[in-house]
Amino acid sequence: MPTTLFGRMFPPGRHEHAPSPGRGVLLVHRIGAVLAAAVLVTFATAGVAGGLEFFSTEGRPVLGLSSNGLLSAISIATAVVLVAAAIRGGRTASTVLIVVGALFLISAFVNLALIGTVANLLAFRLPNVFFSIGAGLVLLLVGAYGRLSGRPPADNPYRSGDADDAGAPPPQPTPTTAAEALADRDMAVAEEAVAQHTATPDQARRVRAIGDLRTHEDRRQAWMRFQH
């Protein structure tokens, strides 16, 4: 599949930069969510096309599993949630995959106890139980991939625990005076010059002096003191 078409299908989420190897885990989570949704939609569509009764506790065979209208509706709703999570971003997709995987496992054991009773509202049979256990484990593994490991790589987006998918820094505060705007511009020019090894000795000295300051406000104030 061409790269451009693939990029349109899976555009980066908010603040999400795809090419980094460590951040590839985000793409795994998003693709995993879409594939899981595709399986659920296929199962649900086959059930709806077969004209299943909505609350039948007996169910009818659909792709090797037992199903009814309620189970098809739940499958479609779950697929919608998974696709929405994939569009939102890798971190969201990971969380949703873990939650849905856990729900699959819980559903397997709860419905196993309900087979053959009037409370078997999802028309489960043993194949459904086995499928739910297998699907739940796969979803948990995909959702936890790269997120719950003991020593994630330095560029892993889950390493720092930032709020968004790519661990973006806090937004830069807007200058409120002309002097602050000038300081911000001069800082940006000097830092770019240092990165390109074209900085003057004065620019290099100033950039080194503010390098250990954590907040932009502190860096700006220190830079403005150099002006005097």
* Distance from C-alpha of 18 to C-alpha of 215, rounded to nearest angstrom: 27
Decide: 89 and 14 in contact? Cβ < 8 Å.
yes
Q: Domain ranges in the chain?
A: 3-144, 178-227
In Å, the largest CA–CA distance within the chain is 84
Q: What is the DSSP string of 123-169?
A: ---HHHHHHHHHHHHHHHHHHHTTTS-SS--TT-TTSS--SSTT-PP
pLDDT at residue 3 greater than cutoff 70: no
pLDDT recorded at residue 165 = 45
Structure tokens at 13: 């989420």
CA Rg, the chain, in Å? 26
* All residues at 6 or more sequence positions from 220 whose CB lies less than 8 Å from its CB, including other chains: 175, 180, 183, 184, 187
DSSP 177: S
Q: Read off the pLDDT band of 142 (50, 70, 90).
A: very high
Q: Report if pTM > 0.85.
A: no
pLDDT recorded at residue 24 = 77
Phi and psi torsions of 87, nearest 5°: -70, -40
Average pLDDT of the chain? 80
What is the rounded end-to-end Cα distance, in angstroms, of the chain? 58
